[in-house]
Amino acid sequence: MSESVRVRIAPSPTGFAHLGTASTALYNVLFARQKKGTFVLRIDDTDLERNRPEFEDLIYESLRWLALEWDEGPDKRGPYEPYRQSERLDIYKQEAARLINDGKAYRCYCTPEELEAERKQAQLEKRPYKYSRRCLTNPPEGRMVFAVRFNVPGGEVVFTDMVRGEMKFDADLIGDFIIVKSDGYPTYQFASPVDDSLMKMTHVIRGEEHLSNTPYQLMLIDALGYERPVAYAHMPLILAPDGAKLSKRKHPESNLMLFKDQGYLPEALINYLALLGWNPGTAQEIFTHDELLQTFSFERVQHAGARFDWEKLNWINGEYIRKLADEELARRLQPFVPNLDPATIERAIPPLKTRMHKLAQAVDYLDYLWTDPAPPALDAATAERVRAAINVLKDVPWEPEAIEAVLEGAVEESGVGKGKFYTPLRDIVTGKKVSLPIHYTLALLPKEVAMHRLQRATNPPD
């Protein structure tokens, strides 16, 4: 038996917590738990320009909301601390120095302008660009500011991808890339493999955008004398409805906290995310966490990116809402209707349950309970029917069943259909054309309030 599995996610705190982070985290958690391994959260905050500490908290909050808990991380103890890259700068400096000493990396004094010129020239000559290695072969004199470049050995880089099988890259096409920026911070391409190695990651599960980065990192791992991870897994990207990659900048709707705020259940989002890019090969669509653990495998993950489909998410979320026990649904609904007391929410659940695909919709059905809709104008015949309703409602026990019974009777008496009879009542009580069934609509309101609204509508102040 080999060493136990260790995997990680390494989000960077450069904005809200992203849907893609949740997706990657899910696959990591699934794999870690299947293998009884360890799931690590590392914060890749080496982008001095864009990092903000509050974004780090958003990552914690979002991941915890989804119940994707990590075993080691910046806010926990662990054998490989610290788990925040900005606190590991000495390590990268030391490793970079080691590479320089070994002749495997070198200082580069080129300015951004000079590099840009090199690139332009290459483009002009229609030749694939690779850094000229000027600072390796003929470094300029008298400059102080430098970055560190990796002396790319070239050759063929081969590795195993659990999704796509054996991958082969020609590293001769890769130019010497920067591993330490002139501000002293490591680049992702450097810090990531260093930490993965030092933190003893056995598998690297991440988004497909990193597939082409893998040879860069593998060469570094080799040069540093580390052991390579046993395998990688590059997961299909989540695409926006228009087919473009879901990005933070272009797609603010990929903000995880927004899902929470709209009333998506975390377990439903997880279920949908699991199905995006993976399928069990059966017709099953709804999975408990345990079922996911049992059935998930990298052999069945998709190779192509998948568009995020809100309609399907809504359906799955509705399925989860309907499956929730009434008390549990009431509990989860509370934050969405803070004006209502728990008893009222609980009474609203039975008719409400089948009508929501996300919890925030409860507001549309229930806001008449804490607002006072303006009474509509009624013609004489309608007013007469409303009075008939008031009449039968007056002495009835204020329960949905009883209300329904007497109202049915009144409808019978009136000679018009239920639709014609109930629509004005609905309008008067809620101010809307859509509501819960009329007897529930009435029963949820205190009797005096309901009666007052009906009465007021039949006696307009003049």
Nearer to RNA, 296 or 422 (CB): 422
What is the spatial distance between Cα 193 and Cα 251, in angstroms, rounded to a whole number?
A: 29
Nearer to RNA, 46 or 197 (CB): 46
Looking only at residues 360 through 379 of this chain, which bind RNA when binding is defined by CB under 7 A?
none
Tell me: does residue 349 bind RNA (CB under 7 A): no
**The two three-digit tokens of residue 396, written as one number:** 């009835």
Tell me: does residue 134 bind RNA (CB under 7 A): no
Q: 25: part of which helix (H) or strand (E)?
A: helix 19-34
CB of 47 to RNA, least distance (A): 4
Binding residues for RNA, rule CB under 7 A, total: 86
Long-range contacts of 46-53 (CB under 8 A, 24+ apart): 46/12, 46/85, 46/86, 46/185, 46/186, 46/187, 46/188, 46/191, 47/12, 47/14, 47/185, 48/183, 48/185, 50/12, 50/14, 50/15, 51/12, 51/13, 51/14, 51/86, 52/13, 52/14, 53/13
The answer to whether 92 and 191 are in contact (CB under 8 A) is yes
Sheet bearing 165-170, strands edge to edge: 165-170, 156-161, 231-235, 203-207
Nearer to RNA, 11 or 266 (CB): 11
Q: Of the candidates 87, 102, 170, 399, which one interacts with RNA according to CB under 7 A?
A: 170
Tell me: does residue 142 bind RNA (CB under 7 A): no
Please indicate whether residue 35 is annotated as part of the active site. no
Looking only at residues 70 through 109 of this chain, which bind RNA when binding is defined by CB under 7 A?
108
| Non-local CB neighbours of 94 within 8 Å, separated by 6+ positions | none
Amino acid at 200: K
Tell me: does residue 249 bind RNA (CB under 7 A): no
What is the spatial distance between Cα 454 and Cα 445, in angstroms, rounded to a whole number?
A: 12
Question: Would strands 147-150 and 156-161 be described as parallel, antiparallel, or unpaired?
Answer: unpaired
CB of 49 to RNA, least distance (A): 7
User: Which stretch, 195-203, 208-216, 328-336, 449-457, contacts RNA (CB under 7 A)?
Assistant: 208-216
Tell me: does residue 193 bind RNA (CB under 7 A): no
Q: Of the candidates 188, 287, 336, 368, which one interacts with RNA according to CB under 7 A?
A: 188
Beta-bridged to residue 169, according to DSSP, are 157
CB of 203 to RNA, least distance (A): 18
Q: Which of 93, 248, 353, 447 is catalytic?
A: 248
Nearer to RNA, 143 or 460 (CB): 143
CB of 374 to RNA, least distance (A): 19
Q: Of the candidates 37, 74, 229, 318, which one interacts with RNA according to CB under 7 A?
A: 318
Nearer to RNA, 31 or 272 (CB): 272
Tell me: does residue 112 bind RNA (CB under 7 A): yes
Q: Of the candidates 315, 367, 387, 388, which one interacts with RNA according to CB under 7 A?
A: 315
CB of 312 to RNA, least distance (A): 4
- Report CA torsion sign: 406, 409, 413, 416: positive
Give me the helices (H) in 102-232, please. Answer: 112-124, 134-137, 188-198, 214-223
Mask for 376-415, x = binds RNA (CB under 7 A): ----------------------------x-----------
CB of 1 to RNA, least distance (A): 27
Amino acid at 442: L
User: Which stretch, 169-177, 259-267, 328-336, 447-455, contacts RNA (CB under 7 A)?
Assistant: 169-177
- Report CA torsion sign: 333, 328, 283, 272: positive
Nearer to RNA, 242 or 379 (CB): 242
Looking only at residues 294 through 313 of this chain, which bind RNA when binding is defined by CB under 7 A?
300, 302-307, 309, 311-312
Tell me: does residue 47 bind RNA (CB under 7 A): yes
Q: 266: part of which helix (H) or strand (E)?
A: helix 266-275
CB of 364 to RNA, least distance (A): 9
| Non-local CB neighbours of 80 within 8 Å, separated by 6+ positions | 40, 72, 198, 199, 200
| Local structure of residue 72 (DSSP, 8 states) | B
Q: Of the candidates 418, 452, 459, 460, which one interacts with RNA according to CB under 7 A?
A: 418
Tell me: does residue 131 bind RNA (CB under 7 A): yes
Q: Output the CA–CA distances (angstroms, integers) from residue 156 to 159, 209, 239, 267, 274, in the order listed.
A: 10, 20, 31, 43, 34
Active site residues: 248
